[in-house]
Each structure stands twice: as structure tokens, then as C-alpha cells.
Amino acid sequence: MRDTFLCPYLNFDGDCRQAMEFYRECLGGTLVMQTFGEAPVNAPEDQKDRIMHAMLDHDLFTIMASDTMPGMEFSKGTNVTLSLVGTDSAWLRACFEKLSAGGKVTMPLEKQFWGDVFGTLTDTFGIHWMVNIGEKK
């Protein structure tokens, strides 16, 4: 896997598993998924089978995805976010700061339960971004 990369992050409303399996069949690659029930989050019982995080990794690309949580807004066709992922903390933090200028930070960069530093923002053009800073391995 590349050290730092940009990939699309797709949101679904309950059909993330089916979509990501479809993309794997069409494009190839390795697919891993985690449900809300498998994660340390407080999900309602009827939502535990929804996908909290999926990643289709291929030599040429990575696609990440998840289902929305109950109550989260979902609009088909506008459900794509750009995700910057990597281990270069200084560069990724600078990108987060620059991208948020004139926009809105929706979740500050903070350490998360999966061990990485993660944050979200909407830039001045209305594009949604995620930044995930992991540890070098």
C-alpha cells in the first residue's frame, strides 16, 4: 500500500456491503469490512449489521466506504468524500489546515478508537474531506 494517498470515500444508506462486493467483482482487489456491531460504538441493535468501514484495496487504487448511522443525512449522488490517508503527520495536518481555510471543520483532528488521528471538514467550495493520520509501520 502507498504511504500517503487520496481516495474516494463513499457513503451508503444500508447497502454498502452489496455495493463494495459489486465493486470488488467489477474491479478486483482485496475487500475488508467492519460492521457497527464489531466496533466499539453505541449502535442500535437493528443497525449493527450496517458497515462502519469498508476498504477495497487494489494495486492501482483504494476505495473506502460506509453506511450512514441512523439520523444522518443521506443524499444519493452527493455521497462522495475525498479522503487523505497516510503517515506524514506534518504534511497531512498542514493539508487539513489549508483545506479548512474559508470552509468548516466538522470534526477536528483527534486521536480515534482505531488508533489514528482523524478529522473531517468541508472546504470553501463545498467539497467534503477526511484526513486520517496513521503510524508508520
Higher pLDDT, 26 or 70: 26
Mean pLDDT of 44-68: 90
The strands making up 80-86's β-sheet, listed across from edge to edge, are: 30-35, 51-57, 62-67, 5-12, 80-86, 128-133, 117-122, 104-111
pLDDT of residue 100: 93
- In this predicted structure, the answer to whether residue 50 has a pLDDT above a threshold of 70 is yes
pLDDT digits (tens, 9 = 90+) for 86-135: 999 999 999 999 999 999 999 999 999 999 999 999 988 788 999 999 98
Instruction: Say what the pLDDT of residue 124 is.
Output: 86
Q: Measure the CA–CA gap between 108 and 51, rounded to whole angstroms.
A: 23
pTM: 0.73
